[in-house]
Structure 1
């Protein structure tokens, strides 16, 4: 095929993993995860790793950038870009096809466009100056920078402050060069209409709670990961932690988390539309299309 990289993207709960794994088998490939939270060990149900799906007909499909850091660590997009390049080169050196799977738009763009990123050091004094700001105020500060790398990460105060810290540093320091490999990606998106997507998100949330998502958070805290660190990761870990420590009732947790995931999925789709406006050609597939038809469509696109 003409492409040397396949990318499967979409909002949460659209079936990305299943399609990516089947495509990896079809094209003799290996998966590279582009999910900002599947990085962490022990954070499984809340991040939707679905590792069982990486085995087809008894054969495991190799994957990369999953379970590579301890929960509590603050992995960032700079590290992801470095790790992505290593994984890409490792897979291609074996004459295999890298298949990127994920919904973290910033990670996808960092991988696909080779932005020159830098490791931004912490500036505690500057962070302290922002502690009394509201999320709205922090958002306004973040958007004041001309070239914002990530203006969607405003779910918690810590994340917003870190994003501002990065933009402030970038504004006053030259970006480092990165020896980036040439890539010819084929981007495949999976899409459901809004109401269907919302129903799928709600159903999956109920299933994961039944499967032990609360117990997963309890185990992480028992292992020594602080409640504040878990809340930093947002979404499931934010609201489940607040429930576990007694700040929310179960019903409050479920309702707040359901709304937050719906909002997150909307932000994901907004990011993908921004990628398209910036020149990324995403071939969207109807989520209801049978898996075999999705695979056939990708095969057709791969030889165009």
Structure 2
């Protein structure tokens, strides 16, 4: 058996609360009787079980879940106050990854969207051993999230930092927004001391990466390589065919002219790809 604890606001590091009325929701009746005989909740028995701490899934967010142990629980008013710790030997898992083998964990789809505390009659560790992904191999020159956390509606654009490319980016951004997507490029963000870390973090979070190879910019080539290595879908665009590196010419790319007519044509070529993501 194990505890499944789902919170709408997510979990902290050591302490949190759970509504008392949500305890033992979506739990088989015979298990409820075991831990709540004659209507009296036996908290001390519950906290002996291993626990899976999850946040509610939303369209915009694929939160990370952790396996841990509850060390203390007490009723305060209408809540149960919990103290707990996470098992450092078990890597975090995103909700989407857990959903892929939720049936083995006896988790129903609707439980990903409801704050509650259930007890499931299965071996969580056996299910994790069969289904958990290995940890990502971490690079040495920059850091990436572990586990990865791809934002389904995020499109990133890699292009030279030059004013002449601003109209191109504006067209891409407007086309993405029309499809319900959020578009960003590296100079939109300044989150880390090193620019390369900003760029890599943006690529790693993106569902789609657009790389403008015009003018054979070495930074864009490097970023395209990172995107390919991280397994992201990449669209190559260029103003000149000869600017596409030889090693990438076997891939499909979009050629455009940097004028009003050419940018309109570029938007039309990208629209169908964006609609597939939106």
Structure of higher RCO (CA pairs closer than 8 Å, 6+ residues apart): 1
Q: TM-score, normalised by structure 2?
A: 0.31
Q: Greater helix share, 1 or 2?
A: 1
Please say which structure displays the higher CA radius of gyration.
Answer: 2
Q: Greater strand share, 1 or 2?
A: 2
